[in-house]
Structure 1
Amino acid sequence: MDQTESRRGRALAAVALAQFMVTLDMTIVNVALPSLDADLGFGETQLPWVVNIYALLFGGLLMLGGRAADLFGQRRLLLGGTVLFAFASLTGGLAQAPWQLIVARALQGMGAAMMAPAALAVLTLSQREGRERIRALGVYAAVSAVGGAAGVLSGGLLTQYAGWRWVMLVNVPMAVCVLLLALTSVPGGSLGAPPNRKLDIGGAVLVTGGVGSLVLGLVRTDRHGWGSTTTLLTLGAAVLLLVLFVLWETRGVTDDPLVRIGLLTKRNVAAANLFVLLLCAGQFAAFYFISLYLQDVLRFDAARAGAAFLPLTLTVVVAINLSTRLLPRTGPKLLLVAGGLLAAAGVAWFGALHVDGSFVADLLGPSILTGLGMGISFVPLTGAAVGGLPRHEAGMASAVLNSSRQIGGALGLAALVTAQATYTAHRRAAGDPPLEALTGGFGLGLALSGALLFAAALVALFVLPGRRAAGGPAGEPVARSGAAPSSPGTTTAPAGPRPDRAASPLSESR
């Protein structure tokens, strides 16, 4: 292996580990929630924010991070985000009060928003176009899909045998590995960035404030009610801020918009973003409910609760390999419809919970079905949001798709936890035993999660263009001359013959 190939391999390893780390932290705290609640004393409505604040800051700042990567260099953002993520993980692992842990999770989200779009851009720009890049994108899709499920598994084992603090501290050695790999493999500079551009801070403030207000309004409905003045004002503020964001980006207020709204007018881009928003809204909430059901109702310890996700995780890995082989023949649409329907059926099956349930009788079957659907969906999703965009917009495009993923997870969790808590309280008030009421609430939350996944399948069926409309045999567009893929996380090489020996940016001098 020559020096250039070795450098590309290290760059891929850095990207894969960075993506695995930020995806892992979406779910790694789920199984640890009862333990950290008992240790630090969270209130019932505070506890979901340990999960929510990470997804909210990650999703809200991703577009700013993507634009910064385009303008200031992918390497710089990847390294800076990794350092911030490691610092936040260390401080979170040492937290002595609920607010300290929540602040640490917020800083993790900010670091992840810097790392993720930069890593996606590095992946595409560091690998040779053709089979090598497609294989690299398959690795990226695999770690993205497995990270969430592996987070629940590893979170349970760490909580049981090392203590809940290690669900935060485990990131520190991984971050050190990312830094070492990136420093020795990723070139500096920013490829294709126009000169004299500035960050759109105003747009970032508006979109993050709008999404934050929306999540806050949904989370607090269990205390204030949907028709209360507090809820209406909070949700109204969210709508106002998001409308102002769209106007800010489209009316020429800034010369360098955070996101070019025209991206979302393309049918395939809009469909892919809506699909991933609905998919993650259902997925993250489902993992949250199942984790609590295993521990609070079935009385599993943290290790057993984490191990209960092993069949789902392994099925995801198998399904990813299957969809990678099928994608060139079917295109993304068929696989996304099938994956969405299978995942919806599996999560809805989870919803048939009861107090005297068991893992084999009640959870094994839906775990396999859900893992199959989710695994089938992840790889074609990276090939669905495509378009012939200039190279300097690569970070922006990838950030839009990843923002939809993280914001969908935050909104879905906020809304469905509120629905679950409200229904549980209603059942208790009606005289149901506490465990019966709690199980009923989890069942409702999982049923609603399944409905969101079914809606994602409908989006793929009726909104996403077919393989011919998408442009290539696997739904890949015919890129314009000099253009780069819409998203560094997508399989977007031009249709037709492609040289496997195309030059890589990593072969250039620094």
Structure 2
Amino acid sequence: MYRNSRVLATAALAQFVVALDMSVVNVALPAIRTSLGFAPLDLSWVVHAYALTFGGFLLLGGRACDLYGRRRMLALGLPLFGLCSLAGGLAQAPWQLIAARAGQGLGAAAAAPAALAMLTSTFTEGPRRVRALGVWSAVNAAGGALGVLAGGLLTQYAGWRWVMLVNLPIVATALALVPALPPAGSSSARRHKGLDVPGAVLATCGSGLLILGVVRTDTLGWGAPATWATLTLAAALLGGFVLAELKTTAPLLRLGLLRSRWVVGANVLVFLAAAGQFAAFYFVSLYMQQVLGMSASATGTAFLPFSLALIAGTVVATRVTSARTPRAALIPGALLAASGLVWFARISPGGGFLTDVLGPCLVTGTGVGMVIAPIVAAATTGVTPHEAGMASGLMNSSRQLGGSVGLAALATLAAHRTGTTAGPAALSDGYALGLAVAAALFVLAAAVAVAVLPRSRSAPPAPRPTAPAHRHLEGTPS
């Protein structure tokens, strides 16, 4: 029990700092631009550099922790993340901060799948795993939401550099727990053939180019030749990755895993939910600052009810999932989040926090919280322990890609509605459209849960391949 508590604490801290870093810099961007002299078109790379390396290397990081050990990957990823946070906090030029953010993404891509895989392999399927994943999900949700609060307060009262330096004590605490973690999680039999290098190159380059093509649409647009060239090359590389995985006996992503309705359904759901959630954060934050005229710190503080509602939603979902199945919490949670976003879409230029933000925050936050925890449980249902990193990397990749694609697409849609007018009425109209589409994504997520996810956990796990790949993948002595 003591060991399990250590595993849960380490996994939660690792995920908290990763989630925190995805949102904490957003509110600080204006201060960063002024301090380091960023060109307007280059400033977005403070966000994109992290998303690019984190999303691009997640599949590789997930499989590496299966092959070489979860504790080892945590001991590698967390220090890299911490050192790059320090470098970012000390940056004196734009390129230094962008390089530090890219390094943070690499560290996160190693640590995040390892933390989740260690959690799912330590707690066997059932109520104990559901409760552990509920804690992990609540911490993950709180990290993302509190990042906005911390970013505003730190930027206004301590300086923007502290949005990077705040990671250091969290990483140090997590690292102090790593030596006490169980060393199991890899096997010499699986390491014998090594990592699937062709698959790793194709997946990393393909995923990275896909995210690059999407995130650059904020400056290039969706119709630009460079955008289409990047996305076409990404599709070709990912197609090559699928072909490579069909031929190798030691795949980076075993395609048979995708025969599980739990795994496929959860990854589609997390893609849709992340697209809606990331876009909602973006539009509501802009509405409060650019339409209501709230300061950075006030905007961050205004997200506190959302954070509390997220945690309450994960508590409810954990109890429902423990008693029934992830499906039982996912469907009402997605519909509740959609209802809150429809309420949000009624924002107006003459609104206020109490009339236009607080109520929708509580409803949306509770719904999103009810979605996050069951998705993690669903994505790992029926997955064998030695493929936990593979499943974790896949789920995190789906979440990161969903967030990037959803935010870019909905931001473009909102900008098209706003047009060249920058007045409060036009901005509010554009944000409202983006929030309405985000609501539609959660409705679609509920429909996917109804159509794809099994009604009970008794559904068979993903089929295993036949020999000789079976002996290698199971990790049995040859």
Q: How does 1:89-168 map to 2 (within 5 A)?
A: 89-127=85-123, 132-168=128-164
- Which residue number corresponds to residue 458 of structure 2? 471
Larger mean CA deviation between 174-183 and 148-157 belongs to 148-157
Separation in 2, partners of 1:207, 1:280: 21
Asked if structure 2 preserves the Cα contact closer than 8 Å seen for 1:286 and 1:446, the reply is yes
Tell me which moved more, 341-350 or 386-395.
386-395
1:36-94 Cα deviation digits (max 9, x unpaired): 23333445544443333323322221111111111111111001100100011111112
Q: CA deviation at 1:222?
A: 5.3
C-alpha distance in 2 between matches for 1:294 and 1:88: 31
- Return the offset for 1:220: 4.0
The 2-side partners of 1:15 and 1:263 are apart by: 24
Contact 1:17 1:174 in 2 (8 A): yes
Residues 117-164 of structure 1, C-alpha deviation per residue, up to 9 Å, x if partnerless? 111222234457765544323221221222211211222221221112
> Residue 404 of structure 2: which of 406, 410, 413 is its match?
410
Counterpart residue number, 2:438:
449
Partners in 2 of 1:156 and 1:346 — Cα distance?
24
Letter in structure 2 aligned against 1:337: I
Distance verdict in 2 for CA 1:388–1:362, change over 3 Å: closer
**Alpha-carbon distance in 2 for matches of 1:182, 1:301:** 39
Matches within 5 A, 1:333-412: 333-412=327-406
Please show how residues 55-454 of structure 1 align to structure 2 within 5 Å.
Answer: 55-127=51-123, 132-187=128-183, 190=186, 194-221=190-217, 224-250=220-246, 252=247, 254-424=248-418, 426=419, 428=420, 432-454=421-443
Give the match for residue 476 of structure 2: none
Which residue identity is paired with 2:389? G
| TM-score calculated relative to the size of structure 1 | 0.84
Q: Is the 8 A contact 2:312 2:369 kept in 1?
A: yes
Aligned residues: 464
Partner SS for 1:352: coil
1:22 alignment partner, one of 15, 18, 35: 18
Aligned-pair CA distance for 1:305: 0.6
Distance in 2 (CA, whole Å) between partners of 1:192 and 1:335 is 40
Identity of aligned residues (%): 53
In the alignment, the residues of structure 1 paired with residue 334 and residue 423 of structure 2 have an alpha-carbon distance, to the nearest angstrom, of 33
Asked whether the 8 Å contact 1:31–1:155 carries over to 2, the reply is yes
Extract unaligned runs of 5+ from structure 2: 465-478
Distance 1:37 1:348, change over 3 A: farther
Shift of 1:191: 5.5
Contact 1:323 1:335 in 2 (8 A): yes
Per the alignment, in what secondary structure is the counterpart of residue 119 of structure 2?
Answer: helix
Please, which moves more after superposition, 173-182 or 153-162? Answer: 153-162
Query: Are 2:12 and 2:139, in contact at CA under 8 Å, matched by a contact in 1?
Result: yes
Q: Which piece of structure 1 moves more, 212-221 or 372-381?
A: 212-221
In structure 2, C-alpha distance between the alignment counterparts of 1:54 and 1:33, rounded to whole Å: 14
SS in 1 for 2:72: helix
SS class of match (1:382) = helix
Q: Distance between the aligned counterparts of 2:462 and 2:130, measured in 1?
A: 16
Contact 1:30–1:291 under 8 Å retained in 2 = no
Q: CA deviation at 1:113?
A: 0.8
Task: Provide the secondary structure at the position in 1 that maps to 2:190.
Answer: coil
Which stretch shows the higher mean deviation, 107-116 or 325-334? 325-334
Conservation of the 8 A alpha-carbon contact between 1:336 and 1:381: yes
TM-score of the two chains, using structure 2 as the length reference = 0.89
Classify the secondary structure of the residue corresponding to 1:357.
Answer: coil
In structure 2, what is the Cα distance between the partners aligned to 1:479 and 1:239?
Answer: 26
- The answer as to whether partners of 2:50 and 2:101 remain within 8 angstroms in 1 is yes
**Bigger proportion of residues as helix:** 2
User: Alpha-carbon deviation of 1:25?
Assistant: 1.4
State whether residues 350 and 363 of structure 1, in contact with CA within 8 Å, keep that contact through their aligned partners in structure 2.
yes
Unmatched 5+ residue regions in structure 1? 482-510
Equivalent-residue separation in structure 2 for 1:300 and 1:223 (angstroms): 26
Q: How far did residue 434 of structure 1 move?
A: 3.3
How big is the shift at 1:108? Answer: 1.0
